[in-house]
Amino acid sequence: MLTPSEPRVHTLDLRGVPCPLNLVKAKLAIESIGVGDVLEIELDEGEPIQNLPASLGRQGQEIIGTRKRENHFCVTVRRKL
Amino acid sequence: MTLSEQQIERYSRHILLQEIGGRGQERLLASKVLIIGMGGLGSPAALYLAAAGVGTIGLVDGDAVDLANLQRQIVHHTADIGRRKVDSAREKIQAINPDVTVRTYDLWARASNIREIVRQYDFVIDGADNFAAKFLINDACCFEKVPFCHAGILQFEGQLMTVIPWRTACYRCVFRSPPPPGSAPSCGQAGVLGVLPGVIGSLQATEAIKYLLGIGSLATDCLLVYSALTMEFRKVHTGRRADCPLCGSNPTITTLMDDGPAGCNRKD
């Protein structure tokens, strides 16, 4: 029986990378993974967490969730296109 | 090809665009554009294509920088007067972007030399200042099947048309042959608004980038006409003609020929 392959989970640490360079790097990482795959992005609080998920969403990617870690956030994105 | 940290930052505003991204930027870096004429049109085209990260830029011009060029040919500076135009332009391109490889051809485009140059490039920008060279560029690009963007300027008006050889209208589909000598004035005689080639040359660079990336639609099968005085753009629609002497069904032009002297107001 054929089963669809599980989406692969990739990670990207963008802590310490300022806006808008973090968005540029997130875009490049998303380009490099397969459609349907998931990218977990570690992000600083403040501007990065305020801007980046919304920007990726506007570009058509799916934001699955945002989790608060100790001093930062982890955003999970699925590549849609 | 992988973008370096420096390149990611340099081209970040391109990478952010959905239509370009990292892949598109890598494509630009792997592309080759030839600019014929390092004058008013070639200046902004060269500067923007260099800034955009077009990896190889070829420059063709057999002239030296003259004081009367500087009102519109912004790639050349006052200190460049008397220098070869291709050398002056190469220096500015490399100063803007060391990623770019510049190849210079310090010569006039002629039937004897232009085809072998054109065929090494993905796209050609016609920045020539005379009809003979414009027809020569059209014919050479058609024979070599290299897409190009034609443009011309005079006084306050400019025009532009992109040609995908054998698929869209060529310059000869619209204008059969050069006008008789003396019937049309040159910029040297009629004058030209300095900023005009800035507008039109930038549009030519835009066409080159869109073609290289395969995005949007090109100014093909139409002549885009711009008036700086009335600030109007209009598109005159056209198309391939069966009776075109070059790309029609019974072509009479099957080989390259020089239609006159190589440059505007010059004898050679």
A5 class by beta-carbon count within 10 Å (0-12 exposed, 13-18 middle, 19+ buried): exposed
Contact in structure between B127 and B151 (CB atoms under 8 Å): yes
Q: Which residues of B touch A21 (CB under 8 A)?
A: 8-9, 12
- Bridge partner residues of B94 (DSSP): none
Question: Confidence band (pLDDT; 50, 70, 90) for A5?
Answer: confident
| Whether B55 contacts B29, CB under 8 Å | yes
Closest by alpha carbon to A44, among A19, A24, A15, A17? A15
DSSP bridge pairs for A9: A38
Return the number of CB contacts < 8 Å for A and B.
27
Tell me if residue B149 is catalytic: no
Q: What are phi and psi of B172, to 5 degrees?
A: -75, -20
Res A2: pLDDT: 59
Say if A22 falls within a structural domain: yes
Given CB atoms, is B231 within the 8 Å cutoff of chain A? Answer: no
Query: Whole-number mean pLDDT of chain B?
Result: 95
- Phi, psi angles (nearest 5°) of residue B79: -70, -10
CA B221 to CA B250: how far, in whole Å? 20
- Specify the residue for token string 């260099």: B50
d(CA B234, CA B223): 8
Cβ within 8 Å, pair A21-B8: yes
Cα separation of A59 and B153, whole Å?
Answer: 39
| A71, B11, B58, B198 from B61: Cα distances, Å | 59, 29, 10, 18
Report residue A4's pLDDT band, with 50, 70 and 90 as the boundaries. low
The parent domain of residue A18 ranges over 9-78
Write the CB contacts of A16 (distance below 8 Å, at least 6 apart in sequence). A44
pLDDT bin (cut points 50, 70, 90) of residue B45 is very high
- Domain assignment present for residue A1? The answer is no
Q: Decide if B15 and A60 are in contact by the 8 Å CB cutoff.
A: no
Question: Does residue B264 surpass a pLDDT of 60?
Answer: no
Asked if residue A2 belongs to a domain, the reply is no
Does B15 contact A at CB distance below 8 Å?
A: yes
Report how many domains make up chain A: 1
A3 lies in some domain? no
What secondary structure, in 3-state letters, does B178-239 show? CCCCCCCCCHHHHCECCCHHHHHHHHHHHHHHHHHHCCCCCCCCEEEEEECCCCEEEEEECC
β-strand pairing of B222-227 with A62-68 = unpaired
Query: Hey, CA dihedral for B244, B249, B252, B256, is it positive or negative?
Result: positive
Chain A CB within 8 Å of residue B23 CB = yes
A50 within some domain: yes
- What CATH number is given to the structural domain containing A20? 3.30.110.40
Domains and CATH numbers, chain B: 31-237 (3.40.50.720)
Tell me which of A68 and B185 has the higher pLDDT: A68
Give the per-residue pLDDT at B187. 72
Distance from CA of B18 to the nearest CA of A (A): 7
Q: What mean pLDDT do residues B227-252 have?
A: 97
- State yes or no: pLDDT of B267 exceeds 50: no
Q: What is the pLDDT of residues B129-146, one digit of tens each?
A: 999 999 999 999 999 999
- What is the average per-residue pLDDT within B183-201? 90
